[in-house]
């Protein structure tokens, strides 16, 4: 199921066109600032801008691999009828005026003042990899370069100031693996995938917390390795081996140091753990909070379970949405209670939505297909206002009705709030010119940053 349907949207504007026509007023101008003021030869990987302008110090991205249906969740259309709504026809009110959610999100409904919904998200790409690439890089798939994902870009730009022991880009718990998340930046910028299960008695973080090897045995082993490393000792002067040795020492700081305590969820109160939900996703959210609390710049939760519901759709939604609802709502309220929401940007979406019209026919028997024409994204904190809806879909959630939001607009806003210059050059190993987001010359569709909620 990886066919690429790169059909173009007649309604979409090219970025350049948007600028020329000034269709989005001030937003267009702000984009113009960034794009036309093409400051040449920005030093690669310059550190983030002065911290005064940086609202989002950390980011938690909840990625709903497979593509979560928008019409059943955050863009309900109760009037559209069973043909569209299927078994989940009800919308519920929230604590924010005029915002309704699908019936499976009662907990998030109580936190709607803390997040905003983008209901006009669009890229019209229906292939998993290509759409995921678009959503995580902002670049059109199929170019010669494999761009790094947003997490790797954070890792690059935040590393100079981030001094923590935990790697700057952490994935809970399994790496996405369907495309190269670090792109041409190389394996140093690969996310650190924890493995293990945070809902287990002990969260065994792969490589850091090993089963059955207490610290004293770790130390004995390390000493033994030092003695038995005959060739390594003989060639210690080699610069190449010195680099490897440095990396090894960094690893040992995690294995033997106190840094690993961040993964010890037993340090949290039982009631709080219950609030997040005693399931894999709930405890992922709790672990993510602990990670941003100690300053980790970018944390991804790859939703443990897929949303690629071609068939068995409604049963999957009934099973997974309550966990998503519980974990995400607890995360937002907990971040808020601790005063962390202002400096922590949370965003949640899949690579696309799902066909709003239910596939009742065999073999799907009530499933939904890939759908990139319009879908929804939840954003919160880190400089994003809560309680708003940006854009809308039409009556049947099939097309953007108002205010399209393209991948570069969403990612550009995230970068802006994090103080990362979206026009900065990325260090390509061959010196090929590559920037964080596509430049104006690349003619990528844009409708402006999310200034409505920034």
Partner 1 sequence: MKKTFLLMVAGILALGGGVARPATDANIYESPIRPASAKPLDKIVLAKLKSLGIEPVLCSDAVFVRRVYLDVIGTLPTAKEAGDFIRDPDAENKRQALIDRLLERDEFADYWAMKWGDILRIKAEFPVNLWPNAAQAYHRWVRASIAENKPYDKFVREMLTSSGSNFRVGPVNFYRALQNKTPEGTAAAVALTFMGSRAENWPKDRLAGMTVFFSQIGYKPTREWKEEHVFWDPFKADGVNDKNATGAAAPLLAVFPDGTKIDLPPNRDPREVFADWLIERKNPWFARCIANRVWAWLLGRGIVHEPDDIRADNPPSNPELLSYLEKELIASRYDLKHLYRLILNSDAYQYSSVPKPDAKEAEANFGSYAMRRLDAEVLIDAINKISGTTDLYTSPIPEPFTYIPADKPAISIADGSITSPFLTLFGRSARATGMENERDNKPVAAQWLHLLNSSHIQRKIDQGPGLKAIFESGRKPEAIVEDLYLTILSRPPTADEMECVLAYCRFPKPKEPGAGNKTGPTNKPGAGNKPGATNKSAVAAKPVNIPPIRRREAWVDITWALINSTEFLYRH
Give the DSSP letter of residue 445: B
Q: Does 252 bind partner 1 (CB under 8 A)?
A: yes
Sequence-distant (6+) residues with CB within 8 A of 204 are 195, 196, 197, 210, 211
Helix (H, G, I), strand (E, B) or coil at 435: strand
Instruction: Return the closest-CA partner of residue 27 out of 386, 390, 394.
Output: 390
Sites for partner 1 among residues 376-435 (CB under 8 A): 429-430, 432
Considering only 17, 143, 261, 274, the residue that binds partner 1 (CB under 8 A) is 143
Q: Does 248 bind partner 1 (CB under 8 A)?
A: yes
Tokens standing for residue 161: 């100031």
Phi/psi for 14 (5° steps) reads -75, 155
Q: Does 251 bind partner 1 (CB under 8 A)?
A: yes
Considering only 228, 267, 270, 271, the residue that binds partner 1 (CB under 8 A) is 228
Count of other CB atoms within 10 angstroms of residue 6: 15
Q: Does 217 bind partner 1 (CB under 8 A)?
A: yes
Q: Does 315 bind partner 1 (CB under 8 A)?
A: no
Contact 173, 209 (CB under 8 A): no
- CA–CA gap between residue 307 and residue 8 (Å, rounded): 25
Considering only 47, 78, 207, 305, the residue that binds partner 1 (CB under 8 A) is 207
Residues that bind partner 1 (rule: CB under 8 A) add up to a total of: 62
Is the Cβ of residue 3 or residue 8 nearer to partner 1 in the bound state?
3
- CA–CA gap between residue 373 and residue 57 (Å, rounded): 32
Q: Does 1 bind partner 1 (CB under 8 A)?
A: yes
Instruction: Return the closest-CA partner of residue 199 out of 302, 303, 262, 282.
Output: 282
Is the Cβ of residue 247 or residue 294 nearer to partner 1 in the bound state?
247
Closest approach of Cβ 141 to partner 1, in Å?
7
Sites for partner 1 among residues 121-140 (CB under 8 A): 129-130, 133
Closest approach of Cβ 133 to partner 1, in Å?
7
Considering only 52, 231, 269, 339, the residue that binds partner 1 (CB under 8 A) is 231
Is the Cβ of residue 252 or residue 360 nearer to partner 1 in the bound state?
252
Considering only 7, 39, 53, 238, the residue that binds partner 1 (CB under 8 A) is 238
- CA–CA gap between residue 181 and residue 158 (Å, rounded): 17
Helix (H, G, I), strand (E, B) or coil at 101: strand
Cis, peptide link before residue 173, omega less than 30° from 0:
yes
Q: Does 38 bind partner 1 (CB under 8 A)?
A: no
Considering only 250, 315, 395, 441, the residue that binds partner 1 (CB under 8 A) is 250
Sites for partner 1 among residues 159-178 (CB under 8 A): 167, 175, 177-178
Binding range to partner 1, per CB under 8 A, among 46-54, 227-235, 274-282, 345-353: 227-235
Sequence-distant (6+) residues with CB within 8 A of 296 are 58, 162, 164, 166, 167, 168, 170
| CA distances for 374 relative to 67, 85, 122, 126, 273, angstroms | 12, 16, 5, 11, 35
Is the Cβ of residue 52 or residue 231 nearer to partner 1 in the bound state?
231
Instruction: Return the closest-CA partner of residue 410 out of 329, 335, 351.
Output: 351
Q: Does 213 bind partner 1 (CB under 8 A)?
A: yes
**Site string (341-370) toward partner 1, x via CB under 8 A:** ------------------------------
Instruction: Return the closest-CA partner of residue 381 out of 337, 425, 325.
Output: 337
Is the Cβ of residue 106 or residue 259 nearer to partner 1 in the bound state?
259
Considering only 36, 225, 294, 441, the residue that binds partner 1 (CB under 8 A) is 225
Instruction: Return the closest-CA partner of residue 282 out of 227, 339, 326.
Output: 326
Binding range to partner 1, per CB under 8 A, among 94-102, 149-157, 239-247, 399-407: 239-247
Q: Does 219 bind partner 1 (CB under 8 A)?
A: no
Contact 96, 384 (CB under 8 A): no
Is the Cβ of residue 205 or residue 400 nearer to partner 1 in the bound state?
205
Q: In 298-440, which residue ranges form alpha helices assigned H by DSSP?
A: 313-337, 407-418
Give the DSSP letter of residue 206: T
Is the Cβ of residue 186 or residue 427 nearer to partner 1 in the bound state?
186
Handedness of CA 26, 400, 35, 154 (dihedral sign): positive
Binding range to partner 1, per CB under 8 A, among 1-9, 35-43, 116-124, 398-406: 1-9
| CA distances for 441 relative to 14, 324, 431, angstroms | 10, 39, 19
Footprint of partner 1 on this chain (CB under 8 A)?
1-2, 4, 129-130, 133, 141-144, 146, 167, 175, 177-180, 186-188, 190, 192-193, 195, 204, 206-208, 210-211, 213, 217-218, 220-221, 224-225, 227-235, 237-238, 240-241, 243-244, 247-248, 250-252, 254-255, 429-430, 432
């Amino acid at each position: 199921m990886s066919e690429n349907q790169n059909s173009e949207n007649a309604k979409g504007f090219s970025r350049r066109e948007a600028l020329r026509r000034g269709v989005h007023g001030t937003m267009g101008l702000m984009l113009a600032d960034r794009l036309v003021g093409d400051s040449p030869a920005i030093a690669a990987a310059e550190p983030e801008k002065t911290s005064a302008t940086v609202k989002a110090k950390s980011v938690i991205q909840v990625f709903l691999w497979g593509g979560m249906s928008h019409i059943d969740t955050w863009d309900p259309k109760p009037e559209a009828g069973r043909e569209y709504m299927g078994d989940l026809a009800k919308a519920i009110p929230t604590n924010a005026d005029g915002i309704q959610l699908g019936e499976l999100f009662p907990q998030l409904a109580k936190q709607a003042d803390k997040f905003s919904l983008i209901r006009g998200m669009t890229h019209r790409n229906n292939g998993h990899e290509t759409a995921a690439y678009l959503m995580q890089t902002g670049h059109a798939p199929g170019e010669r370069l494999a761009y790094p994902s947003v997490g790797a870009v954070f890792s690059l730009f935040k590393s100079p100031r981030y001094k923590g022991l935990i790697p700057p880009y952490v994935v809970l718990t399994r790496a996405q693996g369907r495309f190269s998340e670090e792109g041409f930046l190389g394996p140093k910028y690969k996310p650190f995938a924890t493995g293990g299960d945070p809902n287990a008695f002990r969260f065994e973080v792969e490589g850091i917390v090993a089963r059955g090897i207490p610290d004293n045995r770790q130390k004995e082993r390390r000493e033994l390795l030092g003695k038995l490393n005959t060739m390594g000792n003989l060639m210690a002067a080699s610069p190449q081996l010195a680099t490897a040795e440095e990396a090894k020492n960094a690893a040992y700081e995690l294995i033997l140091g106190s840094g690993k305590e961040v993964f010890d969820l037993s340090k949290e109160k039982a009631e709080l753990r219950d609030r997040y939900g005693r399931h894999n996703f709930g405890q992922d959210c709790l672990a993510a909070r602990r990670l941003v609390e100690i300053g980790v710049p970018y944390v991804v939760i790859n939703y443990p379970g897929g949303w690629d519901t071609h068939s068995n759709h409604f049963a999957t939604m009934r099973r997974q949405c309550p966990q998503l609802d519980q974990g995400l709502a607890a995360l937002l309220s907990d971040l808020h209670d601790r005063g962390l929401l202002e400096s922590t940007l949370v965003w949640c979406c899949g690579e696309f939505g799902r066909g709003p019209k239910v596939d009742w026919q065999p073999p799907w028997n009530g499933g939904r297909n890939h759908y990139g024409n319009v879908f929804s994204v939840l954003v919160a904190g880190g400089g994003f206002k809560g309680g708003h809806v940006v854009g809308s879909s039409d009556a049947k959630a099939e097309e953007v009705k108002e205010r399209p939001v393209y991948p570069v607009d969403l990612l550009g806003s995230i970068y802006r709030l994090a103080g990362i210059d979206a026009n900065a050059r990325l260090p390509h190993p061959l010196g090929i010119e590559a920037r964080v987001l596509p430049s104006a010359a690349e003619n990528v569709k844009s409708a402006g940053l999310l200034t409505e909620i920034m």
